[in-house]
Amino acid sequence: MSSHPIIFLTGHRKSGTSVFHRLFDGHSQVCCYPVDISIFYAYFPCFTNDMSVSSQDLRNRLELVVRKSMKKLEWWLVQQNFSLDGFVKNFVGRIQDEQLRNRALVLDALRQSWLKTAGCSDLNIPVVFKETSQAGFFEQLRSDFPSLRMVSIIRDPRDNYAALKAGVKKYYSRFGESDNMTLASLLNRVRFDLKAAEVNQRLYPKNFLAIKFEDLVESPQNTMENVSRFLGISFEDAMLRPTFLGEIYKGNNHDGVPMSGISKQNLGRWEQRISEEEAMIIEYWLKDVMEIWGYRMRFPVESSQMAFSNFYSWYNCKYFYHDTFQNQN
């Protein structure tokens, strides 16, 4: 177990995690890891669960993930004379072979390496990490980091899907995603995120806090003051101005519209951005967890069930159906 403080920010992709992360960039009482750590989806669990992968291959994978996740910092690395090679070697070198499959120990090695390489003078200062969809793994991390504080940002799944759908053609299609595949992913992961947030906040109120994206953009000061109290840090005005390594942060939405501060430009706009059928599918499958967080349904369940049954026909064929009749005598 480690007594070192870690602040972990999470939420479903395109639920507001990036702008939330940027609100800690200029805070004087934390050391903010500037990008998604990426290791909790690009390394754990798919590589670490495969026992045929050697220790050297795991080390190589860790190096690859950290290097690629840092790519967007190239301008800053040059400006700060920051040695990416030195950082990566320091990080991977801290991990023993028997620790390579342990989430908490790998994260702690990243914490120590960032503090050292980034020049944070106080080695006991809380480090802020961000990774999407980790609320369901909270208990695993808390068992190794008793002082861990996790904050999960949640968003109306209809708006969340609208933000994702805007990027399918321009971005997610590069990875083989279609509109339906993006929707299928959201139905599974958002359900897990919203359910885990409710359970964690109820069972571990001192270590886990869920905030709503809608509250953040409509009442940013009240929301961030609440977050500050939960984390045990002072509220600072910097927490109202998203920055990226000290530079003004203009957002990463797929509409290509620069963001000004904490923006609510797409708040509640799902009706203009997704189809009624897509909204019905979301409501039918997520109704119970959406209502936990105060999201009201727009469509009757009878209509939503018909929409979902049509979607499920595709979903089942894509992911679950196996032709047991093929090549049979």
User: Which pLDDT score is estimated for 175?
Assistant: 81
User: Which pLDDT score is estimated for 231?
Assistant: 97
Residue corresponding to tokens 């939330």:
20
Beta strands in 38-182 (DSSP E): 127-130, 149-154
Ranges under pLDDT 70 in the chain: 1-3, 251-260, 327-329
Q: 53 and 62 in contact (C-beta within 8 Å)?
A: no
User: Which pLDDT score is estimated for 118?
Assistant: 81
User: Which pLDDT score is estimated for 124?
Assistant: 87
User: Which pLDDT score is estimated for 254?
Assistant: 60
User: Which pLDDT score is estimated for 3?
Assistant: 65
Nearest alpha-carbon partner for 36 in 125, 110, 124 = 110
Instruction: Output the six-digit token pair for 206.
Output: 């001192």
User: Which pLDDT score is estimated for 5?
Assistant: 86
**71: exposed, middle or buried (C-beta count within 10 Å: 0-12, 13-18, 19+)?**
exposed
Phi, psi (rounded to 5 degrees) for 255: -80, -10
Q: 106 and 120 in contact (C-beta within 8 Å)?
A: no
Q: 250 and 192 in contact (C-beta within 8 Å)?
A: no
